[in-house]
Copies of this chain bind each other. A is one copy, B any other.
């Protein structure tokens, strides 16, 4: 057994020297990324190696950069999970995926799933998030378990495909909201996820209002064709009432994560309204539970996505009928990673920044 392992390691070592070098970025803690050359590793038997095309910066990546998640992240770590790429090599046991396939990764490692997770593998108690709990995509080549792969059609634009992961979040949120044509939804918060939620919500045929206070985001939301209310200027409750003959909202997406949106979400939801909790509230908030009773409101917690949400997102991106291009604020070379994160802190009202991992 020991001999076999040694032999196997030798083989890998031999392979490594044959595979050549690649650029990788490493979060080093203390607001610092380094860019290093590393040996490309061959995929393990159940893995796929992807030549990463683009990797977007998620809000979670920014949290990691801020050091907020240093207890969870095994520093130094390559982070990143909003990516697209092309399969570069496959492990011996991998079938149905081929070198040259355009792909995205659903970065959920549910191998620790237990019966007590009731089949909800995407939020299982022992879920590992790839790119946070294990190495991510902000590098030129990325080895991942084959089960995380979703293939893209040949015609899919790889730049837009880096939006599949956050778009799948939005698809999940809208699906669980049960929003339908003839209904009205209010999205509280017009950041990247809020904007994608609004775009997906509109595909149901429902009318959508975005509530946002940042002027840059308000401008973009209006360019995207949304009705936008700045609750600092206009009374949101009155506005929603006037737009709905008093019905108020059928669905409210709480994407802002602050006390003021938690306060207003129960006021703008009409009778039997569904409030979707997209935001991550790090601290408990004061909630008017009386209004849940009085109007028979529902609060629906939502987290990440399931397989079908990825497939919906891939279809939307491939069809490219929604204004996804406007969601990409900038594309920067991979080795500008440090500067990219510093710039996000200086301009936090942008949408998606992509790292181009091909250069």
Contact = CB atoms under 8 A, between A and B. Distances in A.
Interface of A: 114-118, 120, 123-125, 176, 244-248, 262, 270-272, 277-282, 284-303
Q: Which of A114, A279, A285, A301 has the most CB of B within 10 A?
A: A301
Contacts of A272: 118, 120, 123
A298 B295 contact: no
Give 7 nearest A-B pairs by CB, closest first: A292-B301, A299-B299, A116-B246, A281-B289, A287-B287, A284-B286, A116-B247
Given A282-B290, A289-B284, A295-B123, A245 B116 contact: yes
A271 B301 contact: no
A279 B288 CA distance: 12
A245 B124 CA distance: 15
B301 A280 contact: no
21 contacts: A115-B245, A116-B244, A116-B246, A120-B272, A120-B296, A176-B296, A279-B293, A280-B293, A281-B290, A282-B290, A284-B286, A285-B289, A286-B286, A286-B287, A287-B287, A292-B301, A293-B303, A294-B301, A294-B303, A296-B301, A299-B299
Given A280-B293, A281-B289, A293-B302, 18 more contacts: A116-B245, A116-B248, A118-B272, A120-B272, A123-B294, A277-B293, A279-B293, A280-B290, A284-B286, A284-B287, A284-B288, A287-B287, A291-B301, A294-B301, A297-B301, A298-B299, A298-B300, A298-B301
Nearest to A296: B301
A285 B287 CA distance: 5
Contacts of A244: 116
A99 B296 CA distance: 37
A125 B286 CA distance: 24
Nearest to A124: B271
Contacts of A292: 277, 299, 301
A262 B292 CA distance: 13
Nearest to A277: B292
Contacts of A281: 288-290, 293
A124 to B, nearest CB: 8
A261 to B, nearest CB: 11
Contact of A285 (B123, B286, B301, B303): B286
A288 B116 CA distance: 22
Given A270-B116, A301-B297, A289 B287 contact: yes
B271 A125 contact: yes
Q: Which of A118, A120, A125, A293 has the most CB of B within 10 A?
A: A293
